[in-house]
Structure 1
Amino acid sequence: MSGKGAPELTVSDCADLRVAVIAAQWHPTVMDGLVDGALRALRDLGIDEPTLLRVPGSFELPVVAKVLADRGYDAIVALGVVIRGGTPHFDYVCHGVTNGLTQVGVDTGVPIGFGVLTCDTEEQAIARAGLPGSPEDKGHEAVTAAVSTAATLRSVSEPWR
């Protein structure tokens, strides 16, 4: 979900969902904004006791997401930021994180809220971090997407056998 054209999601009856937020530690100002937005969204949804885990960087998000999915979480939110530098490192990390988190969601059936910012500059990251004056709040959006998807999955009845 991004900027113009983002859906208006309404989520209800989700206070009993077990949700985890995993956040990288690189770029602390941006990460603090993303985490604050995610926790605010969870409070707004009535989810008062989420699990919050910190990992060194964005590359570590998929493995922790997989373990949490295997331990019964209903939704997982992955937060990180990767800012382009002068080497191909940016591309490798972005692809690895994106592919890893996608694989966790597909393999486990647990929704993964993708709150990993992949930006060319720190200014772009700050604009998306939900900080005072930021036009976007990707931490909040990632929670809303993951919890909305978990609620949708819960509403699907078991197939007839």
Structure 2
Amino acid sequence: MKNTVKTALGGMCIGLSAALMMLSSVIPFLTYAIPAMAAILVMFMRIECDWKWGLGVYFGTAIVSALVVPEKEAVAIYIALIGYYPLLKILFDKLPKIVGYIVKAVFFVGVTVATYYIIMHVFGISTELLEDTQGFMIPLLVVLGLAAFIMYDIAIEKLEIAYYRKWQKQFRKLFKKH
């Protein structure tokens, strides 16, 4: 593909990702699912163009979403964890299987704890609800979040396989002339 086609494709992915991110304000219970859907377009650009183009889509979506999406928690999740994970996943998957799972779990827990620490201490969000839970709620939330992250990791893997097997030929036919 020519760079002009890649640029146009990247712009379309950023626009579609930003539109998806806007849905998190309309449908608030999808605060975690919508950033995951938007990150699929980062994976798409990595597959079709290169990881650098995928990184460009990630940054473009992060900037546009930070400026226009009212649901800032979804934006924070996209920027801090979900948005760039399809780019890191290829590095984690090169590790031996057990080591890869451990690294992914440590990555998730580290990023999640750091993100919520920043949200609570830098932005001054109240921690009263967490203090009233007698200390069991935070570990429970981390375990549940890790389970969701594992499902997200598996979903990305399966979607990538499906893309290669079913959709990539059709997509490339559209852009064969370019």
TM-score by length of 1: 0.37
Bigger share in helix:
2
Structure with greater proportional strand content: 1
Q: What TM-score do the two structures reach when normalised by structure 2?
A: 0.34
The one of the two structures with greater contact order (alpha-carbon pairs below 8 A, sep at least 6) is 1
Pair member with larger Rg: 2
